[in-house]
Structures are given as structure tokens and as C-alpha cells.
């Protein structure tokens, strides 16, 4: 009789233990699914390539460029913003003979991602200047770290001495930021064009 009671008690304890282990297993499985789902929802997208994602900001009268110091006979002609390249052209008009001056052109974009852009760097290169009319070109960044949704302004200062309207002068500004531990690029291309440009 005693053995029967021990066996019965042992069987009841085994059933309780099996139910307890099954409940823990099901609970853990449900909990770990919830954790993995939460991880997927909060995961930032991966950005391929070397292009820096950006959203352009209109600064001028329906244009992306704002001219800080306007020079007579040097007027906005056209611009385009395609992906990570912004190109703007200013036309040298008749009446601009032997003109010296400094001009500043600003553009801006925002960070459309959910991640910070870090370690911003900028380089400026005069890429075409056959008659040496462009004396200098220098660009600056308003901030070297851009948080999600924040705006960054690029300011390009050019110093010129146009002796005539001939030729085309070009400046290229390369901006780089780190995004997801990789360097990404944005280009600001600036051109002074002549009256024959099409």
C-alpha cells in the first residue's frame, strides 16, 4: 500500500512538472517571438552605394540656390537636383566687361534617414578655368553632424575677375558624411556660363 501511495505521488509530481515545463516553454517561445518582432520593427534600413541620401530645400525664389551677394550681369540661368548631385548655372551677360567681385551661393538639404550623418567633410575644386577668371573658390558646411530631419547648408564663395564673357568656369564641391560606418558623397556643381551656352 505504501509503494502504491509513493507511485501515485510520484506520478502526480511528474505530471505537474511536465505541465510546468510545457508552460515555461510556450511562454518563452511567445516572449522570444515578441522580442524578435520588436527588433524587426525598430531596425533601420540599410543604404546601398556611395550616394548620400538627401532632401533638397528651396532657398531662393523657387530655386534651390540662394545668392547672398548679387553681381550685376551675372544672373541665375538654371539648376537641377538629381540624386546626390546638384548643378547650378549662372550666366555671364553682356555688360559684364572687366568685372571683379566675390559672390556667395548657398544651398541646403535635410537628412531624410533615421540615422545621424557624422564627420562631415568638404572639398572644393576649380575643375575648368581656361582663362583664369576664377581666382578662388571655397565652400563650407554649416554642421559636421546632421541628425534625422535636420538641415545642413553648404555655402560656396567664389572670387572672380571676368575680363570678357568667353568660356565656361566650373567648380565642384564634394561633401562626405559617414552613414552606417561608410563614407557617403554629395556633389554641388557650379558653373559660370557665357551667352552662347545652351
**Measuring CA to CA, which residue among 192, 188, 146 is closest to residue 166?**
192
10 and 79 fall within a common domain: no
123 and 92 fall within a common domain: yes
72 and 10 fall within a common domain: no
- Domain range enclosing 130: 55-193
State the distance between the two ends of the chain, measured CA to CA, in whole angstroms: 109
Q: Give the pairing type, strands 182-193 and 85-92.
A: parallel
Q: Is 60 exceeded by the pLDDT of residue 193?
A: yes
**Measuring CA to CA, which residue among 195, 187, 180 is closest to residue 49?**
180
Reported confidence tier of residue 6, pLDDT bands at 50, 70, 90: low
Domains held by the chain: number: 2
Total-model pTM: 0.74
Q: Give the pairing type, strands 99-110 and 66-67.
A: antiparallel
**DSSP reduced 3-state for 185:** strand
Cell numbers representing residue 105 in the block: 551661393
Lookup result for grid cell 550685376: 72
Give pLDDT tens digits for 62-115. 889 998 877 777 888 999 999 999 999 998 887 666 677 888 999 999 999 999
Does residue 50 belong to any structural domain of this protein? no
13 and 80 fall within a common domain: no
99 and 39 fall within a common domain: no
Q: How confident is the model at residue 52, as a pLDDT?
A: 95
Q: Is 90 exceeded by the pLDDT of residue 126?
A: yes
- CB neighbours of 108 closer than 8 A, spacing ≥ 6? 56, 57, 59, 64, 142, 151, 152, 153, 154
122 and 182 fall within a common domain: yes
Give pLDDT tens digits for 146-189. 999 999 999 999 998 887 778 899 999 999 999 999 999 999 99
Q: How confident is the model at residue 38, as a pLDDT?
A: 44
Does residue 152 belong to any structural domain of this protein? yes
**Contact status, residue 91 vs residue 74, Cβ threshold 8 Å:** yes
Q: Please compute the mean of the pLDDT values over residues 182-198 and round it to a whole number.
A: 85
188 and 147 fall within a common domain: yes
Cell numbers representing residue 100 in the block: 571683379
Q: How confident is the model at residue 197, as a pLDDT?
A: 54
Amino acid at each position: 500500500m505504501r509503494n502504491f501511495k509513493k507511485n501515485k505521488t510520484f506520478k502526480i509530481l511528474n505530471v505537474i512538472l511536465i505541465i510546468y515545463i510545457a508552460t515555461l516553454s510556450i511562454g518563452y517561445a511567445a516572449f522570444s517571438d515578441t522580442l524578435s518582432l520588436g527588433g524587426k520593427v525598430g531596425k533601420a534600413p540599410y543604404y546601398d552605394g556611395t550616394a548620400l541620401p538627401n532632401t533638397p530645400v528651396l532657398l531662393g525664389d523657387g530655386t534651390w540656390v540662394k545668392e547672398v551677394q548679387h553681381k550685376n550681369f551675372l544672373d541665375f540661368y538654371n539648376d537641377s537636383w538629381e540624386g546626390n548631385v546638384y548643378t547650378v548655372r549662372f550666366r555671364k551677360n553682356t555688360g559684364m566687361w572687366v568685372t571683379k567681385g566675390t559672390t556667395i551661393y548657398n544651398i541646403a538639404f535635410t537628412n531624410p534617414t533615421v540615422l545621424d550623418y557624422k564627420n562631415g567633410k568638404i572639398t572644393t575644386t576649380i575643375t575648368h578655368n581656361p582663362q583664369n577668371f576664377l581666382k578662388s573658390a571655397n565652400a563650407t558646411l554649416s554642421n559636421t553632424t546632421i541628425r534625422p530631419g535636420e538641415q545642413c547648408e553648404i555655402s560656396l564663395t567664389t572670387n572672380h575677375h571676368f575680363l570678357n564673357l568667353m568660356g565656361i568656369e566650373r567648380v565642384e564641391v564634394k561633401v562626405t558624411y559617414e552613414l552606417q560606418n561608410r563614407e557617403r558623397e554629395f556633389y554641388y556643381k557650379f558653373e559660370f556660363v557665357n551667352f552662347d551656352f545652351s
